[in-house]
Amino acid sequence: MSAELRLATQNLPKMGYLDLEVDPTLDLVAEINRLKKERNAVILAHYYQESEIQDVADYIGDSLGLSQQAAQTDADIIVFAGVHFMAETAKMLSPRKKVLLPDLKAGCSLADSCPAPVFRKFKEKYPGHIVVSYINCTAELKTLTDICCTSTNARHIIDSIPPDQPIIFAPDVNLGRWLVKETGRDMVLWNGSCMVHEIFSHEKIAKLRVKHPAAAFIAHPECESHILDIADHVGSTSSLLRFTRDSQYQEFIVATEPGIIHQMQKASPGKTFIPAPPNNACACNECPHMKRNTMEKLYLCMEHEMPEITLPDWVIEQGVASIDRMLEISRKAGL
């Protein structure tokens, strides 16, 4: 091990990634493809990643699709171009595989909004309730969860629970409110949220719709209810992508993290996609955690096989059941 690599490894807990110089003349796409073959590795990338990472990935998807792919892959190494809870989910589903995350500090504001020790005390106040947790939560929170869900399968999960069974829904209060409205179920909601989906401006979107009267306004259910109420279509990231591909609309105002627009443009090159504006002048509709991953960090993590995601055995054993139940319900629903 070189002195530079030794120092970068020592600094990994502080930095979150291998802080090494990458030769600017290196063909990163070619190098990453070489490493995939040499390491028998698969790259799973979320739709919110930078377009260059999406283009080099073996599978691109939303939380449900990525979970399904993580469970099915026969690769020795799973490289997760996403955020921390996604890589944790992959490790829980494939505990004997090596799971890498380009930057350990690629976290999630929604997952952070629901610390497991605090939620445990919250749960104790509602005995007899079943816990459904949005998959955007920590591995430890999954140990306190009966069934996970994604925005794709959330309605199916809720509908699969007997009507007389009380439910706690965590951690996303906006998704929970949307589910209450859609399913008619009265659920106890944990008050968590995603910083990206809470930033969209109703006023600016209204002005944008006046400017683009032929455009469809589409939104992710993590957005606040006043945004969802004016949307032409509400759905998961994959649902939004399908809607733009299959509908007759030629213009779309998109209220979710704008990384998805790359796939929308690839699927419908003749259509126009406008990212919904945030309520200030910054690029706050971009997830800063998702954007921590870069091609350089992806290359370095594959070259040196770190940083690696590890979880205590008890977390895997107690948490994986909630994901398995979700995947089973999704299979039965044909998702």
Query: pLDDT tens-digit profile of 278-308?
Result: 654 444 455 666 667 899 999 999 999 999 9
The binding site for iminosuccinate consists of 46, 63, 134-136, 151, 220-222, 237
pLDDT of residue 199: 58
Place of tokens 């055995």: 313
Q: Return the closest-CA partner of residue 196 out of 274, 289, 281, 272.
A: 289
190-243: per-residue pLDDT in tens?
988 766 555 566 778 888 899 999 999 999 988 888 889 999 999 988 899 999
The binding site consists of 46, 63, 108, 134-136, 151, 194, 220-222, 237, 287
Mean per-residue pLDDT for 78-87? 90
Q: Distance from first CA to last CA of the chain, Å, rounded? A: 46
CA atoms within 13 A on the CB side of 67: 28
Cα distances (angstroms) measured from residue 152 to each of 29, 65, 70, 76, 242: 31, 9, 17, 28, 12
10-68: per-residue pLDDT in tens?
988 999 889 999 999 999 999 999 999 999 999 999 888 888 999 999 999 877 678 78
Any residues with CB less than 8 A from the CB of 78 and at least 6 apart, and which?
41, 42, 44, 70, 87, 90, 94, 97, 98, 99, 100
Q: Is the pTM of this model over 0.75?
A: yes
The binding site for [4Fe-4S] cluster consists of 108, 194, 287
